[in-house]
Amino acid sequence: MPSFSHRFDPTSLREYDIRGVVGKTLSGEDAFAIGRVFGSIVSRKGGAKVAVGYDGRLSSPMLEERLVAGLMASGMEVIRIGCAPTPMLYFAAYHFGTDGAVMVTGSHNPPDYNGFKSMIGKKPFFGADIQNLGKMAAEGDVVEEAQGSSRQEDISEQYVARVLQDYDGGDRKLKVVWDPGNGSGAEITKMLAARLPGEHTVINGEIDGNFPAHHPDPTVAKNLEQIIAEVAKQGADLGIAFDGDADRIGVVDDKGNIFFGDQLLVVLARDVLKSKPGGTIIADVKASQVLFDEVAKAGGTPLMWKTGHSLIKSKMAETGAPLAGEMSGHIFFADKWYGFDDAPYSAVRLLGIVARMSETLSAVRDAMPKVINTPELRFDCAEDRKFVVVREVKDRLAAEGAKVQDVDGVRVLTDDGWWLLRASNTQAVLVARAEAKSEEGLERLKAGIAKQLEASGLAAPDFSGENAGH
């Protein structure tokens, strides 16, 4: 038997990260094993330097400590940036020129969850990489034990300064409400708010792993109620919210309307395309048709791609796209920035645009073509069935001669609009969405989803009360 061997709970090895419930499917031993194996992978690639950060969850300091011990046992020089937003760790990888980086974060999951997001070199570490890490741990396939080192580095000043470098709104004084949701982006948010021109109010600005105000997921309308109320009270120009580790952004306009991820991308893309005419703008398969049409109208090349931050980052590198985004609020700037998802950076770029606009953000939203859509509908489907069901649906649609885009699941185009069915990469669920020009059209699209699900032996989700203007 090898001197080191470790088995992970199989549910913790996900598509984009390693994640589980602390004390049940994730432990300090897991964290050590991740460090031991990841450090071995870096070492075998000729590297020796790894940056590590952690979010504000109660279990994060313990997991970070064990992770660092595992990395050091593989001979790594570990640069510890402390409690920080995930994008600041990505920034650290560039700032220090590291060979890898690991972030301890549960992202927007409930407080008892935690996990690890990684990058190797400057690329995301995901999919087959994560499965391979599990296999190497089980087989004890690691480099010989060595004595690494670790040191603390606070780079919050450097990160904030670099983010602010790309603010281009001049001296116009906007009134802005920020809600980092008691997540690990809270301190950075306060630093940005103090240095940007204008009047800034930060709510839920203390890092607290209990998330006392609301769950830190800005894509859920309920979690934005507090910031919407504050925007109204202040008469603010806009509100900006982050998720638990500040790699996803939520935006509220001056009238308290939620700016969805694809609407935000329209605003950002129009601006980027002024200096990058013809540039490729990538959005995930869940995004509105309005986005793809508006990008084309602004002189860009719209590209629909698979959902998942690691997949989008890889596609950006391949295509040289200056900007990409997901419905979930991951926004990726490669224009002036490094191509990773960074909510504080995206916020600063958005503020620059709003400060230069003659109209309000709500006016921009109101001028976008109107469509009616469902939010993302998620419903349980066994792990071993979810991809099979999508394939069955695709085969039936092909036989019917339907117009289908199959970049990620099936996106079916009809005269009414479109509907989507895809398997989640991270959970035992199927995800559906539909968008139409009229209520009647949307009902027909929803009936189309229900019909296909029932043909595969699944009960259709309850669509009642699920329509929203967009």
The Cβ of residue 359 has, within 10 Å, a number of other Cβ atoms equal to 10
Distances (CA, A) of 295 to 85, 305, 324, 336, 342: 30, 15, 11, 19, 21
Across 128-190, where does the E strand assignment appear?
149-152, 175-179
Which tokens sit at 370?
């109107």
Task: Report the b/e string of 443-459 with b at 16+ CB within 10 A.
Answer: ebbbebbbebbeebebe
Which tokens sit at 330?
């991951």
CA atoms of 56 and 412, how far apart (whole Å): 41
Which tokens sit at 19?
């994640």
CA atoms of 360 and 363, how far apart (whole Å): 5
CA atoms of 296 and 303, how far apart (whole Å): 10
Query: CB-side exposure of 237: number of CA atoms within 13 Å?
Result: 21
CA atoms of 99 and 148, how far apart (whole Å): 14
Q: Are 127 and 11 in contact (CB under 8 A)?
A: no
Strands 238-242 and 249-253: antiparallel
Residue at 325: amino acid letter:
G
- Cα four-point dihedral sign 200, 204, 209, 214: negative
Quote the distance between the C-alpha of residue 100 and its chain's center: 19
CA atoms of 423 and 410, how far apart (whole Å): 10
Query: CB-side exposure of 353: number of CA atoms within 13 Å?
Result: 20
Three-class secondary structure assignment of 49-65: EEEEEECCCCCHHHHHH
361 Cβ contact partners less than 8 Å away, ≥ 6 residues apart: 237, 238, 251, 253, 254, 259, 267, 354
Residues serving a catalytic function are 107
176 three-class SS? strand
- Cα four-point dihedral sign 52, 83, 332, 374: positive
